[in-house]
Each structure stands twice: as structure tokens, then as C-alpha cells.
Amino acid sequence: MAADANNFVHVDRAGSVACMRGQRGRLIRYLDGRLEIDDNGAENAIRPFVVGCKNWLFSEHRARKAKVSASLYGLLETANTNDLAPFTYLRHLFERIPAARILEEFDALLPWNRVPRLAQKSV
């Protein structure tokens, strides 16, 4: 893009169309409803955590506590997003983590690889 003396921006339309064609797969995800166009849901989900961070402002080990809290909150929200009851999922997770030894065993514990009996989130 180039601007002339009157600050009009001249767009290379052929280049723009070529770029758009290369992004078709990503655009389709928004158009078919698989992805939200904004992140309001994520922002609303982390709001309580951000308020909690302000409470730790003068805590001695705030960086470590914030990291631990962020990890735990991330697990809870990911379980929630995958329609799992968060408490049930955490209990399931903490019971099985000590026995996990290889990457595939840890991967099986992730919320999107859920066990059917855990997917009974109460509304």
C-alpha cells in the first residue's frame, strides 16, 4: 500500500485478493460457526482471576502464586469449555496424574480427550 499527497491509500487489489484466497480455510471456520469472531467469552471467564491477581499485588511470592493459579484456572475453564464438570474432572485428573509416565498417558488426561462418564456437567 502506498499513500499519495492527499493521504489516500492505494491498495493492490490483485495482491489483496490473492491473500484472501490463501486465508479461505481460516475464514470458513468463522462463517460456519465453529469459532467466535470475538473473545468476549474468554475475557469474561478470566475476569475473576484478574481481580484475584490484584489481591496478590503485595504478596511475597506473587509470580509463583499467579502462575499456579493461572494453570489451575486454565484447567477449570478448559474443562468447562469441553462440557465437563470441573470438580469431577479435577478429581479424575489428580487421581491419574501420579500413574502417568509417558506423553500419551498425559495426553489422554486432557479435557478434550474426556472420559464419557465425566461429561455430565450440570447446568
Q: Quote the percentage of the chain above a pLDDT of 90.
A: 7
Tell me the backbone φ, ψ of residue 56, rounded to 5 degrees.
-95, 5
Tell me the backbone φ, ψ of residue 36, rounded to 5 degrees.
-80, 145
Cα angle, residue 64 at apex, residues 61 and 67 outer, rounded to 5°: 145
Residues near 77 by beta carbon (within 8 Å), at least 6 away in sequence = 45, 46
Asked if residue 2 has pLDDT above 60, the reply is no
Asked if residue 123 has pLDDT above 50, the reply is no
Mean pLDDT of 20-26: 79
- Return the DSSP state at 118: G
Per the structure block, which three cell numbers stand in for 117? 462418564
Mean pLDDT of 30-58: 73
- Alpha-carbon distance of 86 to 122, in angstroms, equals 10
Burial track 10-22 (b if 16+ CB lie within 10 A, e otherwise): eeeeeeeeeeeee
Mean pLDDT of 115-119: 57
Per the structure block, which three cell numbers stand in for 98? 501420579
Contact between residue 76 and residue 46 where contact means Cβ atoms under 8 Å apart: no
